[in-house]
Structure 1
Amino acid sequence: MTEHTERSAQPRVYDIVAVSFVAFLLISNIAATKVTALDAGPIHLVFDGGAVLFPLTYILGDVLSEVYGFARARRVIIMGFAASLLASLTFWVVQSIPAGPGYENQDAFVAVLGFVPRIVAASICGYLVGQLMNSLVLVKIRQRWGAKHLWARLIGSTLVGEAFDTVIFCTIAFAGIIPGMEFVNYIVTGYAYKVGIEVVFLPITYRVIALVRRVEHLKSEEVFA
């Protein structure tokens, strides 16, 4: 076994990327309980609070798939949703326990965090399908065309993954709550925003992937098994 193989056998920063992914997912699920709107001139945009941080989970998903392979990326995705389920169960138990003396925010707690289970259900269904499709498309493009054209892999996988994710998430989370054409606006805005963020951040994603590869002592054509 060569020195390079020995150094590459155990990932050095996989745990950092994995924990960051799970943290971003949990925070986004809570922030997504708030629906907001923004008028940018003649354009009316409807979105939820998860839009602030959630796109970064797709960037980390690209790093996981590109550097560590589909199997390791899938493991982190599943871990993220296991943590989300635990958070959802915890909030449900806590809101069901009677409020103690002096606590006057029970209704506010239920109104905000009581909606988290629906957000988590939407997130699990949407993101699980979307992120797995994102990782699968990225890996398939890599297998077909090799390590070249990273930009095509990242953008192509994003277009597919975000489409699945956005439609499924928005439908489960806010169908029947956001009315009529505002709901269509919400889906279109969410998809355009997420894809736009990833395209704008593409140069940063390139640098992050290159940095992680250097730390892991991997060449451009290598991935962890």
Structure 2
Amino acid sequence: MPRPAATEEPSPPRRPAGPARGNYDLVVALFVGLLLISNIGATKLIQLGPEVAVGGYPVLPVITDGGAFLFPLTYVLGDVLAEVYGWRRARRAIVVGFVLAALMSLTFWVVAAMPPASDWTLQQAWVSVLGFVPRIVVASLCGYLAGQLLNALVLVRLKRRTGGRRLWLRLLGSTVVGELVDTVVFCTLAFGSPGSWLGGDSIPLESLVNYVVTGFVYKVLVEVVLLPVTYLVIRAVRAREPEPVEPG
């Protein structure tokens, strides 16, 4: 008798070529990574230039921190998240960054509290740089959360008001609001005298004003310089989305 023909299982349908999930996860990973690196860099204050005063106000040296190198890029990626994915998904990325930044600080505190090995002589140096300073941590987390949420919210609101036109206005307008709030909150809580109860060092009022103005102007200028790059990144990310994204 002839053997019955073997039955073959139907092959699974082929997925269409091209990206299937878009780049949201990649943008979020870069966003959070830059945030964490910047937070570590921000533990060092930087002074650039000779001492110059105009009318008793110190114009130079420029006072900033190590986070100034990469932190402005988090606002570029924050703009990408809000512009391409909308308020809800941008807010989710911002909250993820907040939670991981808090976890990083808590981890450094636990590690610093653990007894060092007998032949390890860098305990004090490690604690000085990465140790848990409540004042800096609170200032960083508060400034980041307020600034990034306002940046995303303003961009989305402007997008609705302009009907999706004038991207440059949305990018710059949201950055001015977000960076201003972020800089003022962080600098005031981290180095102003009202926060002395949280520990850490205070700086004179003149230096604090210099710090705030310099940080704000620098971050906004970086956004202006990188505006063409932000345009290209937004266009590239949106083009790689498998389906149109409905901002929300």
* Same structural fold, with TM-score higher than 0.5 when normalized by the shorter chain: yes
Q: Which residue does the alignment assign to 2:65?
A: 48
Quick one: distance in 2 between partners of 1:58 and 1:119?
20
Does the residue aligned with 1:216 lie in a helix, a strand or coil? coil
Larger radius of gyration: 2
Does the residue aligned with 2:61 lie in a helix, a strand or coil? strand
User: Residue deviations 1:31-79, cap 9 Å, x none?
Assistant: 0000011117954210000001000000000000000000000000000
Q: Which of 151, 155, 159 matches 1:134? A: 151
Q: Which residue does the alignment assign to 2:49?
A: 39
The number of aligned residues is 216
How large is the Cα RMSD of the aligned pairs? 2.0
User: Residue deviations 1:83-142, cap 9 Å, x none?
Assistant: 011111111011111111111111111111115553332121111111111111101111
Does the residue aligned with 2:240 lie in a helix, a strand or coil? helix
Q: Which of 70, 76, 80 matches 2:93? A: 76
Amino acid at match of 1:135: A
Quick one: distance in 2 between partners of 1:115 and 1:50?
17
Q: Which of 193, 197, 207 matches 2:232? A: 207
Q: Answer yes or no: is 1:93 the counterpart of 2:84.
A: no
Provide the TM-score with structure 1 as the length reference. 0.90
Gaps (5+ residues) in structure 1?
1-5
Quick one: distance in 1 between partners of 2:37 and 2:30?
11
Provide the TM-score with structure 2 as the length reference. 0.82
Amino acid at match of 1:96: A
For the Cα contact (< 8 Å) 1:166–1:191, is it kept in 2? yes
Deviates more, 1:53-62 or 1:39-48: 39-48
Gaps (5+ residues) in structure 2?
1-15, 53-59, 194-201
Which structure dedicates a bigger proportion of its chain to helix? 1
Quick one: distance in 2 between partners of 1:208 and 1:41?
40
For the Cα contact (< 8 Å) 1:33–1:116, is it kept in 2? no
Q: Which residue does the alignment assign to 1:190?
A: 215
For the Cα contact (< 8 Å) 2:147–2:182, is it kept in 1? yes
